[in-house]
Structure 1
Amino acid sequence: MDQSATYIGNTFERLALALDKTSSVSVSVQLRGALEYGIATGDFPPGTRLPSVRRLASHLGLSPVTVSNVYAALQEAGHVQGRVGTGTFVADGGVSHHQAKSLREVERLIGDLVRLGADVGLSRAELAYRVSTATERSGSVRLLMLGTFPDATEAYADDIRPYLRPGDEIIARTTDQIVRDRPDGISLVVAPRTLRADAQSQFPGLPVLGITLIPKEATRIALAAISPQSEVAIVSYFPEFLPVMRAGILRFAPHVTRINSAVWKDETVAAVISRANVVIHSTGTEELRRDLRPDQTAIEYRHTPDSHAIETDLLPAIEACRGRPPGHRGHIS
């Protein structure tokens, strides 16, 4: 088995351990959330073949109907694709699609350029030299970073900003904010993979890129530093994010064994927090920090855009937008 297959197998193993069948959150919601965020964070890269319904159901101790319904919901949301006779695969998130379309367009334009060069007497060598010395495409690009929570979305934009050229701009808006504050002049919409379908419906005339998120370095370091004797509480704003946080703890703090979880505003959350030495909470639940005791430690579980995804997916998408009028879909989809 190659390293990639081993990594995917380990990820599904953490998923199995992260599902809490005693939780008030249904296992179907937990499983869908875990798979969605696994796709969003790159644990299940585009093209990954998911286990068959029966195999995953057997591995997780769930009914095949439960797993089948989760797969169907993920497919309806555009996160996975079912291929007749071969299985269920993680969707490409639009990246491979517009890369392929852009390459086809490049090939077409190169053919036109070669013919035009021949018409004016340029050899292919002369044409290649002129192409190699041509200046880069100019034109600034205005990006919209779309997210769920204001602080986290601003942080995503801040992490992307250093990769942009002078004159480029990235602004941050939540899905709630764009309802009343819809920015103009946007060239490209960037969103976590879990929000890509929503972004496409909100901005049907614009290219939308779903970007991979990973836990921030500060989050990984904080998790690794938790004492093995600690009683840990996980508090999530969204029920479906609980198994993601549990899986992250299993990955970055495997020495921690005493873990309880609750959904923010649930009637059990106060009791779960009161028993804990360490409270790990998702973005959107920051106010719980005000009521913690002096002997309790709080860790916010935050994500950041994957630098590899920025360089391999986002930057080429930005370059494809240069020189196009804002709002022009062009060949990015």
Structure 2
Amino acid sequence: MGGKRTSEVARIAPEPSPVSRIVAALDRALPIPLGVQLRGLVEYGIASSELRPGDRLPSVRECAEQAGIAPMTVAKVYDELREAGLIATRPGAGTYVAEIAAAGLERMRGLRRLQGRVEALFAEAEAAGLSAADVANLVSARAVRGAPRGLSILFVGVFPDATRGYAEHLARHLEPRDRVVAATIDALRRGEASARGMDVVVALAHRRAEVEALVGPGVPVVGLSVIPSEETRARLAAIDPMARVGMVSVFPEFVPIMKPGVLRFAPDVADVDIRLLDDPDLDGLVGAVDVLVYASGAEAVLTRLPRGTQAIEFRHIPSPQAVREVLLPLVEEMRAGDFKESAT
């Protein structure tokens, strides 16, 4: 019985070393150079603690023989790992995983985080019926191509403050590398702003044709509708139904829109009056109300407001639905293809 137990033990293969497992993971079917794979596998081995400080690595010759690659390739990888502070060579003792310095530790933490995302990427690819080579091709193409540059987008509005607000809100729908610049129609007309170097120009829907004529050919101009901002809606809804409410607009054509727009969120308010900013009787209105709602661009009325009167700007933001349906498809089309040269 004892002999049988001994023979069973003898047949159990020794557990392969971490380095052997790493070398065995090299895959010639992938479109990634073996040297690049080897460095990545060693880095991930250190990042995941599969390789620990003090673990001995095979010599250049041993590693080249195990991996079946040129010694010069292994030597280059070892040199790069040494420069990164990940491995160290002790004279007469060989090459070992190094104690990681503070900067190296941060790099390792980053690699650990990335490793989890890589595993999730391969799991997602497998679920979609894609091979490891498919994923490697995508990663390799991205590495060769480099990071795509962000898009430059010009938002053209009417009033400076409101236009800056539109641009800031629009930027939340885009990627961090994108740049959104604000300019007014008047600034374009006076030559103080330009679409030069821009990939896309965004205008208020009802001013699109005017902006397109100012920008000229070469840069697409997209018109977006707007909606009252969340803060505006909340403040209007909180108005006391018994309050006397006044409204001030800059443009006569906005009056028929502004009044029902305000009452949509404050439907129980009954005492409402509205004036234009240049109305001779504006002071009479301002002095008689509890709450003043003013359109963007009519901020000058605030200097005439009695102390204690509540003021609410009827501020708008680009419609998220319009951004999704009108602007983002164009932006994604630009990202997917080769970037055109910006208009000059």
Bin of the TM-score, shorter chain as denominator length: 0.5 to 0.7
Q: Which of the residues 229, 242, 249 maps onto 1:216?
A: 229
Q: For residues 59-85 of structure 1, what are the alpha-carbon distances to aligned partners after superposition, in whole Å with 9 as ceiling and x for unaligned?
A: xxxxxxxxxxxxxxxxxxxxxxxxxxx
The CA distance in 2 between the partners of 1:149 and 1:313, in whole Å, is 23
The DSSP-based 3-state class of the residue aligned with 1:265 is: coil
Aligned to 2:261: 248
Aligned to 2:187: 177
Aligned to 1:157: 167
Q: Does 1:193 align with 2:209?
A: no
Aligned to 1:5: none
Q: Which of the residues 296, 305, 314 maps onto 1:283?
A: 296
Aligned to 2:341: 325
Q: Which of the residues 256, 261, 269 maps onto 2:274?
A: 261
How far apart are residue 204 of structure 1 and its match?
2.3
The DSSP-based 3-state class of the residue aligned with 1:194 is: helix
Q: Which has the higher contact order (CA 8 A, sep 6+)?
A: 1
Aligned to 2:154: 144
Structure 1 letter corresponding to 2:342: P
Structure 2 letter corresponding to 1:311: R
The DSSP-based 3-state class of the residue aligned with 1:163 is: coil
Of residues 290-299 and 222-231 in structure 1, the stretch that sits farther from structure 2 once superposed is: 290-299
Q: Which one has a bigger Cα radius of gyration? A: 2
Contact 2:249 2:275 in 1 (8 A): yes
Q: Does 1:295 align with 2:295?
A: no
Contact 1:222 1:299 in 2 (8 A): yes
The CA distance in 2 between the partners of 1:275 and 1:165, in whole Å, is 47
TM, length-normalised to structure 1? 0.56
Structure 2 residues without counterparts, runs of 5 or longer: 1-129
How far apart are residue 321 of structure 1 and its match?
3.2
The CA distance in 2 between the partners of 1:212 and 1:225, in whole Å, is 25
How far apart are residue 301 of structure 1 and its match?
0.4
The DSSP-based 3-state class of the residue aligned with 2:232 is: helix
How far apart are residue 274 of structure 1 and its match?
1.5
How far apart are residue 316 of structure 1 and its match?
1.4
Structure 2 letter corresponding to 1:197: A
Q: For residues 85-129 of structure 1, what are the alpha-carbon distances to aligned partners after superposition, in whole Å with 9 as ceiling and x for unaligned?
A: xxxxxxxxxxxxxxxxxxxxxxxxxxxxxxxxxxxxxxxx99xx7
Structure 1 residues without counterparts, runs of 5 or longer: 1-124, 329-333
Of residues 258-267 and 158-167 in structure 1, the stretch that sits farther from structure 2 once superposed is: 158-167
Q: Does 1:230 align with 2:261?
A: no
Aligned to 1:19: none
How far apart are residue 141 of structure 1 and its match?
1.4
Contact 1:188 1:321 in 2 (8 A): no
TM, length-normalised to structure 2? 0.54
Contact 2:286 2:306 in 1 (8 A): no
Alignment identity in percent? 34
How far apart are residue 230 of structure 1 and its match?
0.9
Q: For residues 145-165 of structure 1, what are the alpha-carbon distances to aligned partners after superposition, in whole Å with 9 as ceiling and x for unaligned?
A: 000000000000100112222
The CA distance in 2 between the partners of 1:180 and 1:214, in whole Å, is 29
How far apart are residue 202 of structure 1 and its match?
0.8
- Counting matched residue pairs gives 201
Aligned to 2:328: 315
Aligned to 1:99: none
The CA distance in 1 between the partners of 2:265 and 2:343, in whole Å, is 41
Q: How does 1:60-139 map to 2 (within 5 A)?
A: 133=138, 138-139=148-149
Structure 1 ranges of 4+ moved more than 4 A: 132-137
Structure 2 letter corresponding to 1:280: V
